[in-house]
Amino acid sequence: EVQLVESGGGLVQPGGSLRLSCAASGFTFSNYWMSWVRQAPGKGLEWVANIKPDGSEKYYVDSVKGRFTISRDNAKNSLYLQMNSLRAEDTAVYYCARDSPGVGIDYWGQGTLVTVSS
Amino acid sequence: DIVMTQTPLSSPVTLGQPASISCSSSQSLVHSDGNTYLSWLQQRPGQPPRLLIYKISNRFSGVPDRFSGSGAGTDFTLKISRVEAEDVGVYYCMQATQFPLYTFGQGTKLEI
């Protein structure tokens, strides 16, 4: 069974930093692209970033370029999102998700809430 | 970037009756490999999204056959043949043709 478990969310002040983690199990993590998708309170879904299986390619939505960094550790079956220079508009539930060839995003974690507020 | 537009944004439905949601894209979703990477997701209240349909009309593992997808090019439809109480939630279309960049529709709230 595919499982994705996020952690690391919390309350942070504007301009601060936070690192999210996602522990993956139930599939061969090193074979899959992985994504972060966020959802602001009461709003829709926004894809944030994804990373190639070997970590050699990374892509970001324009609004987080230069502030967020996606990374992975295939030995630990883990995905990360380093978030710097956080803004109020980054407040959202952040989901870890698996990208599947020919499908798109097929599995989602439960999400972790990030609140940026003074 | 491809913009995805859903209609309606809210849809009152009756249990046992059919329901339909539309999604249109700002440009064709036909990939150079000939496939069309249009998915539908369901998000029940308080839950993460769940994949229902991929490549326009393929039901994902465990998805009931009352859900079906159709369409081509830039216009797509999700249909529920007979709405059940557990179908309440928000439905999103998502394009993966522009992989590795994804975009979602605004979401359609299905309410009894």
Helix residue spans in B1-112 (DSSP H): none
B37, B44, B99, B101: best to mutate for the A interface, most A CBs within 10 A: B99
**How far is the C-alpha of A34 from the C-alpha of A97, rounded, in Å?**
6
Judging contacts by C-beta atoms under 8 Å, the chain B residues touching residue A44 are 90, 92, 104-107
CA neighbor of A46 nearest in space, from A109, A90, A10, A81? A90
Long-range CB contacts (within 8 A, 24+) of A45-48: A45/B41, A45/B49, A45/B92, A45/B94, A45/B104, A45/B107, A46/A92, A46/B104, A47/B101, A47/B102, A47/B103, A47/B104, A48/A81, A48/A94
Per-residue pLDDT of chain B (112 residues; tens, 9 = 90+): 899 999 999 999 999 999 999 999 999 999 999 999 999 999 999 999 999 999 999 999 999 999 999 999 999 999 999 999 999 999 999 999 999 999 999 999 999 8
Of A52, A104, A107, the CB nearest to B96: A104
Closest CA–CA distance from residue B20 to any residue of chain A (Å): 19
**How far is the C-alpha of B25 from the C-alpha of B22, rounded, in Å?**
10
Closest CA–CA distance from residue A110 to any residue of chain B (Å): 6
Is any Cβ of chain B less than 8 angstroms from the Cβ of A47?
yes
Cβ contact (<8 Å) for B94 and A105?
yes
Closest CA–CA distance from residue A101 to any residue of chain B (Å): 10
- pLDDT reported for residue B17: 95
Judging contacts by C-beta atoms under 8 Å, the chain A residues touching residue B51 are 103-108
- pLDDT reported for residue B1: 87
**Residue for token digits 């994705």?**
A4
Nearest chain B alpha carbon to A100: B96
Averaged pLDDT for residues A79-87: 98
Of B51, B55, B107, the CB nearest to A105: B51
- pLDDT reported for residue A102: 82
| B32: number of Cβ within 10 Å | 6
